[in-house]
Chains A and B, each alone.
Chain A
Amino acid sequence: QITLKESGPTLVNPTQTLTLTCTFSGFSLRTNGVGVAWIRQPPGKALEWLALIYRDDDVRYNPLLKNRITVTGDTSKNQAVLTMTNMDPVDTATYFCAHRPAVAPIRHSWFDPWGQGTLVVVSS
């Protein structure tokens, strides 16, 4: 059974850096093609894909946010970490991580299952 859970701060000050951790079980980032995606959802708004880490060290980013986002994987801890710099109130959202099945190529990406999400509020 695959499970994922996001953890991190619930409140961040503007201009600060956000660090969120996705702790997962039931799969390994060492498995070829398997990945973890980060997706966010501002309150009442649509889903927005942020990044995807797969093959332990290959990462794709949302081109509109790539200058602010870094995703790393820790295969020994079964974790994927999202770092987002220069947080702004518009970044207030529920942040989800999700499992990418081992399918190739990268453009054939779907996400199942998802973590429960964690709400991050950006405010002073």
Chain B
Amino acid sequence: QSVLTQPPSASGTPGQRVTISCSGSTSNIGNHYVYWYRQLPEMAPKLLIFRNDQRSSGVPDRFSGSKSGTSASLAISGLRSDDEADYYCATWDDSLGGHVIFGGGTKLTVL
């Protein structure tokens, strides 16, 4: 059970806008930047968003990140079939001396 809570699944149809949430606490999201990674099937994860809302190089503006309090969200607009993947949030946690934590991941299905 991850310290960062993500819905295990999300879905949408092509062209739709979907949002994936990531819920934490004051020891992590509440006081630190949030990062988002996408993992296509059988591939290594790839950075999508850094510092809450900054898109990584080459990431289209269909992807956007936001943070409010102890929660963060990744929004994908103009959903495409090749957006079907697992999405992970990550941040720093201050407990136990400080360390990186990942969310449990959300599997996005494009219907």
Contact = CB atoms under 8 A, between A and B. Distances in A.
Interface stretch (A18-26, A72-80, A83-91, A112-120): A112-120
B88 A47 contact: yes
Given A107-B32, A109-B92, A116-B44, A49 B50 contact: no
Given A46-B2, A46-B104, A111 B47 contact: yes
Interface residues of A, number: 24
Interface residues of B, number: 27
A39 B35 CA distance: 15
Given A46-B2, A96-B44, A117-B44, A110 B102 contact: no
Contact of B100 (A37, A96, A112, A114): A37
Contact of B50 (A47, A96, A110): A110
A112 B88 CA distance: 14
A49 B99 contact: yes
A82 interface: no
A5 B71 CA distance: 33
B60 interface: no
Interface in A51-65: 52, 60-63
Interface of A: 37, 39, 46-49, 52, 60-63, 96, 106-117
Given A46-B88, A47-B88, A63-B95, 7 more contacts: A37-B100, A39-B102, A46-B2, A46-B105, A47-B37, A60-B99, A117-B44
